[in-house]
Amino acid sequence: MQIDIDRLCKRLQTKARHICFVYGAGPCGYGLYRRLVVKGFDCMVCAPSLIPRKPGDRVKTDRRDAIKLVRSPRAGDLSAVHVPSVEDESFRDLARAWSAAREDLKAARCRLKSFLLAHGIHYFGRANWGPTHRRWISTFSFDSAWQQLTFNEHRRTIEDRLAQCERLELALRESVISWRFYPVVLALQAMRGINFTSAIGLVSELGDLSRFEHPRQLMTLCSSLPVPNGNRRSSS
């Protein structure tokens, strides 16, 4: 792929003085953007969800998408996605791994609760998964070997996810000290309702706050972001 990109760049340079590349953000990350910028080209990564689309235009092909991406920048209809630095992206990956582990833990707990509920087992205290609640769960056993195996696997999954969350949170606390946005993380924790993990989630997704020229721009982006433990969306 890299060889193909180099050939394309050389071929386009023979036909035009100034070349601007544009492509939609996707699962392949920002490697192409960084490669083109290093070569001295202008490159724009746009948000796919904000690409203008005509009503009734449901046919989607690579050629149609390419033509649309060529025409839209001329009309100023594309919204660029903020491309983080390699270091910021690496730290964001770690923060998202922690968030994903928390979601997996939540799902594992829901599965165990559903399993117990299906067998008429109810907890009448505060089911907050604290020591008392977990000790109560550990007292059960089932007559069926298959049900007992299922119950044990549900509990083992929860314990594994708990250990994973603890490892990732420890890694975050150790790594954030050397991150360039560590002062911002500390400053956010001075605000009411924002703890360490919430601050990490906000800063890792928002990136450099100085890129916002007006508070409305920041709040517009924040309105599209989830809470730190929620589902991720692409930041622009």
Q: For 192-217, how does the pLDDT look when each residue is reduced to its tens digit (9 = 90+)?
A: 989 999 999 989 988 888 888 888 87
Report the percent of the chain where pLDDT is more than 90. Answer: 39
pLDDT at 236 over 50: no
Q: For 104-113, how does the pLDDT look when each residue is reduced to its tens digit (9 = 90+)?
A: 999 999 999 9
Segment among 20-34, 103-117, 211-225 with least mean pLDDT: 211-225
How far apart CA 186 and CA 157 sit, in angstroms, is: 33
**Mean pLDDT within 5-17:** 79
pLDDT at 231 over 80: no
**Mean pLDDT within 115-131:** 86
Q: For 53-111, how does the pLDDT look when each residue is reduced to its tens digit (9 = 90+)?
A: 777 777 778 788 888 887 777 777 777 888 899 999 999 999 999 999 999 999 999 99
Dihedrals phi, psi of 122, to nearest 5 degrees:
-120, 145
Dihedrals phi, psi of 220, to nearest 5 degrees:
-65, -40
